Amino acid sequence: MSKFRKQHMPIAWHEIVENENPVPAVEASLKEKSILIGRLGLMMLSVGTGAWRVRASMNKIARALGVTCNADIGLLAIAYTCIENGETYTNALSINTTGVNTDRLNYLEEFADGFQERAEKYSIEQFHHILDKFQEMPANYTAWNLGLASAVACCAFTFLLGGGVVEMICAFFGAGVGNFVRKKLLERHITLLANVTVGVAMACVVYMICLEVAEILIGVSSVHQAGYICSMLFVIPGFPLITGGIDIAKLDLRSGLERVTYALLIIVMATLTGWITATIFKFHPSEFVEIEIEPLLKLVLRLVTSFCGVYGFSLMFNSPRKMALTAGVIGMIVNTIRLELLDFTSIPVSVGAFVGALCAGLLASALKKKVGYPRITLTVPSIVIMIPGMFMYKGVYYIALNELQTGALWLTKALLIVISLPLGLIFARIITDNNFRKSS
């Protein structure tokens, strides 16, 4: 067997810096300043945030160092030029894959916000050591933790989509095992399509096994097979879908289109895997059995399950527990508002999604000064639960069966909701953030 070689060669950041040069960062050479700016941008990119936020952080460092920086940002790469006193330095950097890490994002934002007051005290080398610590931070949760988080989130998601107790229990075990297996594959650096395929297949198979066991032991009806879709919703790429939409709105088209393409790649692979698995087991995405619940009780259950769902998804993004709790409270409020509006008014589901996302953005902006977390670490987890993963799956499922009209109908519904969610966050940001509101 040939020796494994990394396709993306690691960068030895400290070899670029003059280790014995103790001068403050503002007095360093343009090359050293530019490398520090680029490294921060690359680290911001690696935690899953969009181009607008990556550029904003790079600009904070550049201004503090007396440098002009222009950057072209994609999903995995940054090309940028720094200018100082007529001298220029151009560089291109890339990462091998992307993911979401809201905890590290929070630390990087704090680093960028406090950089100016330290730029005249710390050397470039010292700043690189700080970034080293951020880069070496271990994940907050193990594969078991993340499996449990996805189990809770998808179990809650099942109720919100109309499922009952049987579907919720089967989805709990399916999603838990599926995400645990996927996390283990990610720890071994297994490529994207492989880890998505295996994770989704395991989730669907475990769901089906749980249902079969329940049928044999306690006579549960096979009508509950509809919930198998919910067991695979932990792979829905909420962060790239939302940040991609925001980037497109800010005319960062390269980043936006790459993020949306990345999200679509995951969605198509997951839905195709679910379809193949369902075909093997002769399952199909039927409607949930309708459950009669008193309106007040339904309201309470929606609040509880919305909180649990958002909390679970937030943990899957590596949010510390306090951040996840904050996102959970926001999600609990805005998702319940959305669902109640759909029940008691005649507004379309896409308008409900817009209202929910708008409320999430406004709440996160109001809480930002008190809790100090970046808005995106609260808003995206709180509206991920609104992404219509079931609609997407049904669309692909029916298209695969050559029922194009039915498939197109489900995909159109999903598309309208997916467009509405980032629009809600965008308009919340336009209302509350002067920097975001202007095109400069």
**Whose CA is closest to 389, among 408, 417, 353?**
417
Q: Which residues of 74-117 form beta strands (DSSP E)?
A: 77-84, 87-94
> Two tokens at 375?
């808005």
Q: Are the beta carbons of 373 and 326 closer than 8 angstroms? A: yes
DSSP 144-211: HHHHHHHHHHHHHHHHHTT--HHHHHHHHHHHHHHHHHHHHHHHTT--HHHHHHHHHHHHHHHHHHHH
Residue 248 backbone dihedrals phi, psi, to 5 degrees: -60, -40
Q: Are the beta carbons of 379 and 361 closer than 8 angstroms? A: yes
Parallel, antiparallel, or unpaired for β 77-84 and 68-73? antiparallel
pTM of the predicted model as reported, rounded to 2 decimal places = 0.91
Handedness of CA 126, 128, 133, 134 (dihedral sign): positive
Q: What angle do CA 61, 319, 138 make, to 5 degrees?
A: 75
CA dist 321 and 326 (Å) reads: 9
Per-residue pLDDT of the chain (440 residues; tens, 9 = 90+): 456 667 777 787 777 776 666 888 898 999 999 999 999 999 999 999 999 999 999 999 999 999 999 999 999 999 999 999 889 999 999 998 888 999 999 999 999 999 999 988 899 999 999 999 999 999 999 999 999 999 999 999 999 988 888 889 999 999 999 999 999 999 998 999 999 999 999 999 999 898 888 888 887 766 667 778 888 889 988 889 999 999 998 889 999 999 999 999 999 999 889 888 888 877 777 777 777 888 899 999 999 999 999 999 999 999 999 999 999 999 999 999 999 999 899 899 999 999 999 999 999 988 887 888 888 899 999 998 898 888 888 888 888 888 889 989 999 999 999 999 999 999 998 998 887 877 76
Q: Are the beta carbons of 216 and 188 closer than 8 angstroms? A: no
- Within a 10 A sphere around the Cβ of 300, how many other Cβ atoms? 13
